[in-house]
Structure 1
Amino acid sequence: MKRLFPLAAISLALAAPAAAGQRSSLYIAMHRSAIVEGLRIMPIKVTADSRCPINARCIWAGELRAKVKVSQKGHQRTLELVQGKPADLGWATVELVDALPQPRAGRKIAPPYRLKFRVERRDRMIPQSR
């Protein structure tokens, strides 16, 4: 009987919905979608990639920008995200964190990109439009 209690507790923890303030991240391939913290994210296009190559020394880290579709419960928006600058959706923030492949000096990046996003949910509901 004592062995069943820890298994039941683990099962309940896995089945419980994530709490507000939950933060998750995930790599998503271009033109594919994934759900992160209740938010469906689909990268559409990398609009700028001037990141410093991993085999170089740079005085500037560069910039990564991407056009992304985000949706939840029928509400959809297209955003232009800049790496490291979270976009506030009201009920959550979404941030472009990284991209693969990493740039290398003297080589052009071979698509397709996989973009890493971080979503931090504040609560489960989308604010009502006014």
Structure 2
Amino acid sequence: MNTRAQQLQAFERLLDIMDDLREKCPWDKKQTLESLRHLTIEETYELGDAILDNDLPEIKKELGDLLLHIVFYAKIGSETNDFDIADVANSICDKLIDRHPHIYGDVVVENEEQVKQNWEKLKLKEGRTSVLEGVPKSLPALVK
């Protein structure tokens, strides 16, 4: 496995490549949040298929494709000064810390079931009336 330094170096390499592509490639320059959306959905389904097939090399490839999309969206967000990859990463870090008071706070849990119960309470405390509130309207009904 790679060291943390190698992992960060690989991520920086991806950010540098995205900068180059956005500046120099006619197709990449043209892309918008909306134009990438259907491609991201397709990549997500491809990852799902690879997981169901337990095809680890394919899972790695599809995770890379999705990571590219995340970096691409963040690059577009940075160009409009709305958000960048650091904002995206910090946002999920803050959410993970908030949702895991048994790790980052003083809540004590005995098992996975108590973690789930706390998670549902936290979701409702965020102002949601149901744990399903916030589920994407475009998500297929079967998945919901």
Q: Is this a same-fold pair by TM over 0.5? A: no
TM-score, length basis structure 2: 0.19
- Name the structure with the higher helix share: 2
Higher relative contact order (CA 8 A, sep 6+): 1
TM-score, length basis structure 1: 0.20
